[in-house]
Amino acid sequence: MVIPCSGIGKVHGLIGREATYRVTDGLAYDKTATLCLALLVKGDPEAVEAVQRHRCITIDGCAKACAQKNVEMSGGRVAKAIQVAEAFRNFRGARPGTATALTEDGWKISEAIAQSVHCEAAELLGVEGTVR
């Protein structure tokens, strides 16, 4: 499971969200999925079961780490916790856009995170090279 935070105040939240779609709808569409973080907040049984049954990669936009914490509070297994801000280190001076829309720089950062998640997912699945 790839689970981004629901960050709505900063561009970081949108970058994580789009990186998730890049993985679950593209790079590894047949090996990964996402779910609504709000469902975990609600305690939805299916969502709770999903994070408990599958290894999770969380993508958080800020240090409050809502995605990671909510998965952990639901008894889920966070195999990798990614912070969007970390990815910015490789894009110094980038102007990524806003919480509403990404610029070209923002899409590049999102793609870098997606590639990282893709590699991590392949490693977790133990079938490196088979995740497209």
Partner 1 sequence: MNADATKVGIISCSGEALAGGTISRLATRRVLELLRPDRTVTLCLPLFLAGNEGERNFARTHPTITVDGCEKQCAKWGTETHSGPVSIALVVPEILGHAAEGCIRSTKALTQDDTEAVWAVAERIAAAVDTVLASATSAGAESTPVGAGKAQCACSSPLPGASLSIGGKTVEIPGLPLIFAHFAERAAKADGSPAAALLALVRIYHPVPPAEQDAYKDALLAEYQRFAGMQAAK
Q: Summarize as ranges the residues that interact with partner 1 (CB under 8 A).
A: 3-10, 13-14, 17-18, 20-21, 25, 34-42, 44, 64-67, 69-70, 73, 99-102, 107
Contacts of 32 (CB under 8 A, 6+ apart): 1, 2, 23, 24, 121, 131
What is the Cα–Cα distance from 40 to 119, expressed in whole angstroms? 25
Nearer to partner 1, 6 or 115 (CB): 6
For partner 1, the closer of residues 16 and 87 by Cβ is 16
Q: Based on CB atoms, which residue is closest to partner 1, 44 or 125?
A: 44
The minimum distance between CB 66 and partner 1, in angstroms, equals 4
Residue closer to partner 1 (CB basis): 69 or 130: 69
Tokens of 9: 């105040």
Least spacing, CB of residue 99 vs partner 1, in Å: 6
Q: What is the DSSP string of 24-72?
A: IIIITTTT-----HHHHHHT-HHHHHHHHHSEEEEEESSTT-HHHHHHH
Q: Hunting for tokens 């939240």 — which residue is that?
A: 13
Residues 106, 11 contacting (CB under 8 angstroms): yes
CB of 111 to partner 1, least distance (A): 11
Question: Minimum distance between the CB of residue 129 and partner 1, rounded to whole angstroms?
Answer: 26
